[in-house]
Amino acid sequence: MQKITIAIDGFSSTGKSTVAKRLARALGYVYVDSGAMYRAVTLYTMQNGFIEADCFDVEGLISQLENIHVSFIFNESLGFAEVYLNGENVEKDIRTLDVSQFVSQVATVSEVREQLVMQQKNFGKDKGVVMDGRDIGTVVFPEAELKLFMTASAEKRAQRRYDELLERGDDVSYEDVLKNVQTRDHIDSTREDSPLTMAEDAIKVDNSNMTLEEQFEFILNLSEEKIKALHKKKRH
């Protein structure tokens, strides 16, 4: 069966990765969490003292880019690929609120984007990929057969992320999580290079009032329709 490319973009904490992971599993596709790559570079930036509360040594980070290697290794028992930074599993470390506080600033750096986008395009070169992020339908795979743009109210999104962080045992407040979600939305949508914006041919999914199951079924149906349409086109 011919495979397609599925691009899922949208605001912070819209549940993109949850649905993308499940969709990839159902279709037998590869799932790539592009945000995890920006998070891994951010962790490196923090660990090496290039970013702090009021100071960001962009040149310092750029000078080290060739020493930053982000990769994914599939974890059989979890059923998805975990992120590695220079050979070390950082899956848990990159999901903290600390990393979330800096990631959008790091993601404004064009040199960082260029390196990660090249890697992302390569992951998708044989199709059969579900990738989520901010610029997947606009920059990474502008030719993707299915593009989704996920949105929900900031309060709903903050609540979901807050619950996730509490579940992990992180000590955070709802107010800080909400502030982070709003700040990231703003930086991501207004940056010069590859801002978060809905591709013209994307389908908007507001999941404020959708259960995970409803959202998954809706997106799986759309994917199957696209795959069938492609198949028909090939036969004619």
Q: Residue 101 interacts with ligand CDP (CB under 6 A)?
A: no
Q: Residue 5 interacts with ligand CDP (CB under 6 A)?
A: no
How near is the Cβ of 185 to ligand CDP at its closest, in Å? Answer: 8
Q: Which of 32, 124, 135, 144 binds ligand CDP (CB under 6 A)?
A: 135
For strand 70-75 and strand 80-85, is the pairing parallel, antiparallel, or unpaired? antiparallel
How near is the Cβ of 128 to ligand CDP at its closest, in Å? Answer: 19
| Residue 90 to residue 31: CA distance in whole angstroms | 17
**If residue 177 lies in a helix (H) or strand (E), which one and from where to where?**
helix 174-190
| CB burial of residue 125 (10 Å; 0-12, 13-18, 19+) | exposed
Closer residue to ligand CDP (CB): 7 or 27: 7
Q: Which of 83, 152, 184, 219 binds ligand CDP (CB under 6 A)?
A: 184
How near is the Cβ of 39 to ligand CDP at its closest, in Å? Answer: 5
> Nearest-CA neighbor of 117 among 194, 65, 185?
194
Q: Residue 38 interacts with ligand CDP (CB under 6 A)?
A: yes
Closer residue to ligand CDP (CB): 29 or 141: 141
Q: Residue 39 interacts with ligand CDP (CB under 6 A)?
A: yes
CB 106, CB 41: distance < 8 Å:
yes
| Residue 53 to residue 106: CA distance in whole angstroms | 13
Q: Residue 21 interacts with ligand CDP (CB under 6 A)?
A: no
